[in-house]
């Protein structure tokens, strides 16, 4: 879209017009005013938002000019202390990554995810949609009530739907909060094997957890899933209460931070 084709988003000032339409001067200046106003609107919305804003929401306020506005704001902030980034399928303002050390003393004392929870989260992220039985098969141990509970409570994992197989087991997947927490624009941006090795995280993830990379939209049901209603979710939680409680050992003791503040 060229600058001159941007839609007019603000009130049009009085301008002398002929039967042929607005003057050339009006055509040249009004879209610029509209674009500047759209920049201000998007910037204000991102500033006050607690989380990423979806493009559809922003487009309701500024229309088709959104892509140009985002490009403009990315360039405006790219060398500053705050950056405009794509996060969890939307846009958000976040502090520049190289300045994270400034906030270390202000960070809330993090809670911990057990090794069992970390393993389960990795399996859900890389294999979604995945059932409890599939999680158990990859980990090699029975799924515990506490492990899935904590992932559901953090908001990083969710019940997605029901698999169209005998027994119609519930499927699990990640959430926009998971993408936000780990600064991922989409589930396709999950780190690969080389990145995990470089970060020293590969040993904490069981063999088989990285056998597949998720594809498609994590929010959309796959072809072999049915929607999950409230009764289904409640039934799964009731069944979960009967699962064994995983005992803490040196192998599954707390290992990974659940950050309490944004970096």
Which residues lie closer than 8 Å to 43 by C-beta, 6 or more apart? 73
In the CATH scheme, what architecture does the domain 9-100 have?
Orthogonal Bundle (1.10)
Instruction: Say yes or no: do domains 9-100 and 111-250 share a fold.
Output: yes
CATH 3.40.50.720 fits 111-250, yes or no: no
The CA distance from 9 to 35, in Å, is: 8
The 10s digit of each residue's pLDDT in 133-187 is 899 888 888 777 678 888 988 889 999 989 988 988 999 999 998 888 888 888 8
Count CB neighbours of 117 within 10 A. 26
CB–CB of 122/209 below 8 Å? yes
C-alpha distances (whole Å) from 14 to each of 11, 30, 151, 263 are 9, 11, 58, 48
Segment 109-118 shows an average pLDDT of 74
Sole residue written with tokens 């309490």: 260
The 10s digit of each residue's pLDDT in 73-89 is 999 999 999 999 998 88
CB–CB of 157/124 below 8 Å? yes
**Domain layout of the chain by residue ranges:** 9-100, 111-250
> Of the spans 4-8, 19-23, 188-192, 201-205, which averages the highest pLDDT?
188-192
């Amino acid at each position: 879209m060229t600058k001159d084709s941007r839609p007019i988003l603000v009130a049009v000032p009085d301008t002398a017009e002929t039967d042929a339409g607005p003057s050339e001067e009006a055509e040249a200046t009004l879209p610029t005013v509209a674009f500047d106003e759209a920049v201000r609107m998007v910037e204000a919305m991102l500033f006050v938002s607690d989380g990423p804003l979806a493009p559809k929401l922003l487009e309701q306020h500024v229309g088709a000019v959104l892509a140009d506005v985002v490009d403009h704001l990315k360039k405006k902030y790219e060398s500053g202390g705050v950056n405009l980034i794509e996060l969890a399928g939307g846009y958000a303002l976040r502090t520049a990554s190289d300045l994270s050390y400034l906030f270390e003393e202000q960070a809330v004392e993090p809670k911990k995810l057990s090794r069992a929870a970390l393993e389960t989260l990795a399996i859900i992220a890389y294999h979604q949609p995945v059932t409890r039985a599939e999680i158990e098969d990859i980990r090699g141990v029975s799924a515990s009530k506490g492990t899935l509970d904590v992932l559901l409570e953090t908001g990083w994992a969710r019940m997605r739907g029901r698999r169209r197989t005998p027994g119609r087991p519930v499927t699990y997947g990640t959430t926009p909060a998971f993408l936000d927490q780990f600064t991922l624009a989409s589930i396709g941006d999950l780190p690969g094997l080389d990145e995990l090795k470089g970060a020293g995280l590969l040993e904490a993830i069981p063999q088989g957890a990285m056998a597949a990379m998720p594809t498609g939209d994590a929010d959309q049901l796959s072809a072999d899933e049915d929607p999950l209603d409230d009764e289904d979710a409640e039934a799964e939680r009731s069944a979960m209460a009967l699962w064994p409680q995983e005992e803490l050992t040196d192998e599954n003791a707390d290992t990974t931070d659940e950050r309490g503040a944004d970096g």
